[in-house]
Every structure is written in C-alpha cells, then in structure tokens.
Structure 1
Amino acid sequence: MQLFEHFDTKAQTLYDTLRLAGYENEIIVIEDDGFLPEHFVTPYRYFANYQVPEDACPLYFNQVDIPRYWEIIGSNDEAKVNDMGQVRANIFYHHESKPRIVSHVEWLDSQGRLQYVDHYTQHGVYFAQTVYNLAGEKILRRYLDQQGREVIYENFVAQSIIVNWQGKAHHFNDKVQYVQFFLQALNKNMERFVINSLGLPFLVLYHLDKPGSDLIFWQEQSGGHVPGNMSLILQGDHLRNYHVIVPDKEEYECLKQQLGANEQQRLLPAGYLYDYARQNTYTANIVTMTNSDQIHHLEAIVKACPKATFHIGAVTEMSDKLTAFDDYPNVKLFPTIERATVNKLYQSCDIYLDINEGGEIINAVQTAFDHDLLILGYRDTAHNAAVTAPENLFEKGENAAQLIQVLKDIQLKKRYFQVRHNYQKSHVHEITRKAFNQVMTRVTK
C-alpha cells in the first residue's frame, strides 16, 4: 500500500512513477481535501462511508449558499461574498478542476477576521468545517457524512481526535493512534507500505505492532545532515524493515557520504517516471499563457525569431499593448481563451516561454511540462522551479539576448534542442522504467 499524509505534487509524482512501473497498490491519503481521485482511500471516506452522489456535480462559485441580500462577485481567479460593500467571505477555487469550482470558503466576522472555513468535495458535498480563534489559529475541524452527522472531530489545541463510527465514539490522544486505528479497521495486509515522509506516515509505521518491510522515498533536501529518523531506520534492528530510496542524485550522494557501510546498504538511488500527454517534436511552435501584458522583451524576441510561431493565450481580454502584436505574422493571439483551445496549443507546441510578469494562470507551466514542452524563461519571474531546469532560465536584461540566442540555436539544430530538453529531464530526475524496476527488485525481493 502507498501511504501519504497529503497528496501534493511530490506524492503525485511518486504515485505516477509507481503506476507507470507496474506497481498498482492501494492508495491511502490521511488528509482529504475533497478532490482526491475517487479510488483513493481516506479516513474520512471510510468512516463516513462516502458515496459518489448519483447526480454528482461540483459546486460552482455562484452556488455557495449565502444570506438574503448578500451577493457573490467572482472572477476567473477568486470570488467574494459581499454584504453592502463589506467582504464577508472569500471563495477559493480548486485550480486543477474546471474553472470556478469551489474547494473551500473562508467566512469572516464583521471585523474582517477569519471565523471558520467550509470545505467541499469535487462532487459539491459539504464535508468539513474548520473553526478558528480570534488570533486566526485553527482550533477544531468537524468532518460530516452526507447526512450531516459528525463523523470525525479533530481538536488542534489538544491534538486529540474523536471518531464516531459503528455506534461508538472512539477517542485518540494523537494522530498516530488515530491513523493506526483506521489501518486496523481497513483490515488490509500491512506487510509493505510505500511512504514519502519521515513525519506522520513514518511514525504510524514505526509504532505499528506488526512486522513488515517498508520503502521510504526521500523527496526532501537534508541540508547536508542525515535526518534523525532516517539515521534511526538505516541502523536496522526494528520490527519492520526499511529501505530509503532517493530520487535526487545529488541528495543521494550527500546522504551516502555521511553513512557507514552497513547503513549504505539500505540507501538506494532512483528517479521518476513521467507519463507525458504527448512527445516533443522539436518544432519552433512556442506558447505563453498570461493574464498580464507585462511580457518583457516580447517584441525583441518575436523580431529576432521570424521563423518561430508565438502563440499567446489569456483567459481574459487582452490590452492594446498585446493586441498590437497581431500585426506580426509569426504571432497568434488567443484572448479569453477556452480550455479546448488551450489543450490544442499544448498538443501542437514544443516550447513554453515562461516570461510573463504576474501570477501563473491555469497551471500553465506544469501543464507544459506534462505535455513534454521545453520550458524556457527568465530567472527572476519563473513560475515553477520544480519543473524548470536552472540551465534554461536566463537574465532578462540586455534585451533578453541570452534567451534569444538559445531560441535561435534550438531552431538551427535539433541537437541543441535536445540538449536543453535533457537539462529539463535531468532536473526532474527522470529515469527509464527498466532502471527504476531494477532498484525496486533489490528492495522487494
């Protein structure tokens, strides 16, 4: 089984890697944000016996229930609830879903202080509420089943949890006990877990009164020192056996140098597998997504690369400054772009230029990576360092001379394009399925 505390980007990468390598395990996520894949198991889903409604439909921003005479004002990025001009709630979207789908709503008091947060699932079900004190600190969270009954009560101050299940109230003094109770209730084989944290998931397994053999994928940076929990498990002699797999080569070498010969046997290097939506074809089709007309040196870049085609998309209307680029034959503008058009651009383009000021829209850089686009940009405005190789980020001074030269080079020779593309693949620690499975064979045999 795979056990994650949160299903964040790192957990997603590990999950995808194991799936692509052929390891179809049951996925358990401790913290449920309401938008997890439907086949994942969580304590909330299990104890609440959560079922996807027959008429499942996400909650759109203007469907949030509000008092009479209050109003909802929304944009593509956020929405607010107003009462006679005073903001009484902030509505947050789940940005990886369809546009303007609500994930949670922050309700404010008359002084503008956060009171509580209502949480919704991807099916529009109100499933949890978090309450805050006047200092803005979380004090409790209530999870509700689909009939509105309280299933889980978490007290953040006392760090205790109560689960109302099968007609009984089960009390736990900490989250480790709570998760262990949940695992026991699942009644699954606990011989092997895959985790990516030396925090809660590791503590749950370390104190589990059952033998087994677990894999820990270390996705953090140690800062030059072996973490205490890692040092403990690498020494061996525990009820459960542990191996630590490190996808980052530099991090692996750093940890290895600080360990003895016996400890090194439990530490292995690896990498990740990626399931790209398509393969890069090394063309000079370039895309940029922006909600700002502050795209430094765009004119110089367009003029310097007449054989490249620049596709610029925005989810809003474009300013006169941007629409003026319509005069260039190698520029195509897409104001108020629709999702279908966005998808077509990512299917047809091979380079993503991350050179716009302001925030990232529609998860643009990650989506570019997922479509195997080469990501180039400015160092001080890059929006997603996790998938952008440092070698492919440049200074925006001197009229973007460095970036322009690279664009010219990769148009001149495919080999130059491949070198830049390989920088990106090395940065995200990509390896082959064969190499990954060789590591897994060593630790699972």
Structure 2
Amino acid sequence: TIVHYASHDKPWNTYSISRLRELWWVYRDLDWSEIAFQRSDLNYFERSNQSKKQVMLVTWSADIKHLEYLVQRLPDWHFHLAAPCDCSEELTSLSQYTNVTVYQNVLHSRIDWLLDDSIVYLDINTGGEVFNVVTRAQESGKKIFAFDITRKSMDDGLYDGIFSVERPDDLVDRMKNIEIE
C-alpha cells in the first residue's frame, strides 16, 4: 500500500496533525527489503507501542506545573502533550526531549486515540478543562494525577493522587512505582 499525503500538512512536519502520522514515522526508516521479505512479521501496533509507559495531558494553557521537571525525571515515560490550539514556544520547545510529543490543534479523535494508548492522565495545567478530558480519562480507566492547585474537580475520588505543587518529587516517585502490565 502506498499512502500519498496530498495536503500541505505532511506527517514529517514537526507539528503535523495529519492522519496516519504515527504510521509514517514507524515505517520511515525501514529498508525496502525488510518490508518486502518480512511482511508477515511487520506489525504496526507492536512497532509503535514499544513503551507501555505513556502519559498524556490536554491543555489550553502554557502554564503546566513542573512539566519539564517531570519530563527530565521520568525519561522512561513518554509524554503526549495535546492542545486544541497553537502551542506557545514554551511548550513546543519541549519537543527537544525524546520522550515528548507535542500535538497542536488536536482534534477530539486524536485525544481519544492518545487516551487509549496512555495509562496516566496528568491534570497539572492551569486554566479550564479541555473537552471534558479528565472525566473521559476516568471513564477510560486511566490513573489521574493532579497537583493541589491545578485539579479541575473537587471530587477527590476522581484522582488516583493529588500532590502538593511544592513537592513534584512525590508525583515522580508515584509514577516510578506504577506497575505496567
């Protein structure tokens, strides 16, 4: 199968939101002989989900408490940062880390896809909730962690952990101790 990307939004653009972007990145470095002779062994989902430690957050705001600190302290976790708008330089600069993917102008379907792949949702951004994502994360059975000053709900039962914004290491320790199935 050959996929042609006809729009200006190509999957190799840094902040592309095109369909099948992840598929393109999975297969881009494959040699043709690997594709031709090992077709039965190729499995997109096995190749794309090499790490089970996926965490996401959705934000309208660039004010995300201790995000860079968490990214640096949790290198074995992959952070998916999604925004339904263009992201500030402060957020896009986090793409320098290999464990961060930034999704600008994200659509509902992409949020659902990211939620499906993630095991943790972080409610650590200031401002309003985006697209009811905290409730959607709970309904999807994700662990939800928040800082005391960023939580979108006063219902403690919604969260698997509420941490003092003054002690981000407590959140780091909790995430390091999560058992991955």
Runs of 4+ residues deviating >2 angstroms? 384-389
- Matching of residue 406 in structure 1 with residue 177 in structure 2: no
Tell me by how many angstroms 1:414 deviates: 4.4
Contact 1:350 1:373 in 2 (8 A): yes
Could you tell me which residue of structure 1 aligns to residue 102 of structure 2?
333
Tell me by how many angstroms 1:381 deviates: 1.5
Could you tell me which residue of structure 1 aligns to residue 77 of structure 2?
308
> What amino acid is aligned across from residue 284 of structure 1 in structure 2?
K
Give the TM-score of the pair, scaled to structure 1.
0.28
Looking at structure 1, the residues matched to 126 and 106 of structure 2 have their Cα atoms a distance apart, in angstroms, of 19
| CA offset digits 1:227-270 (Å, max 9, x no partner) | xxxxxxxxxxxxxxxxxxxxxxxxxxxxxxxxxxxxxxxxxxxx
| CA offset digits 1:117-149 (Å, max 9, x no partner) | xxxxxxxxxxxxxxxxxxxxxxxxxxxxxxxxx
Task: Please list, as runs of the form range in 1=range in 2, the aligned pairs for 1:148-297 lying within 5 A after superposition.
Answer: 283-297=52-66
Looking at structure 1, the residues matched to 67 and 97 of structure 2 have their Cα atoms a distance apart, in angstroms, of 12
Larger radius of gyration: 1
Give the TM-score of the pair, scaled to structure 2.
0.68
Structure 2: any 5+ residue segments left out of the alignment?
1-51
Looking at structure 2, the residues matched to 370 and 388 of structure 1 have their Cα atoms a distance apart, in angstroms, of 10
Greater relative contact order structure (CA < 8 Å, 6+ sep): 2
Contact 1:354 1:382 in 2 (8 A): yes
> What amino acid is aligned across from residue 403 of structure 1 in structure 2?
L
> What amino acid is aligned across from residue 305 of structure 1 in structure 2?
L
Tell me how large the CA RMSD over aligned residues is: 1.8
Looking at structure 1, the residues matched to 153 and 166 of structure 2 have their Cα atoms a distance apart, in angstroms, of 20
* Structure 2 residue matching 1:369: 3-state secondary structure: helix
Contact 1:354 1:365 in 2 (8 A): yes
Looking at structure 2, the residues matched to 360 and 339 of structure 1 have their Cα atoms a distance apart, in angstroms, of 14
Tell me by how many angstroms 1:370 deviates: 1.1
Aligned pairs, number: 130
Decide which structure has greater helix share: 2
* Structure 2 residue matching 1:393: 3-state secondary structure: strand
- Matching of residue 350 in structure 1 with residue 132 in structure 2: no
- From 130, 134, 141, the equivalent of 1:365 is 134
Contact 2:123 2:151 in 1 (8 A): yes
Could you tell me which residue of structure 2 aligns to residue 172 of structure 1?
none
Structure 1: any 5+ residue segments left out of the alignment?
1-282, 416-445
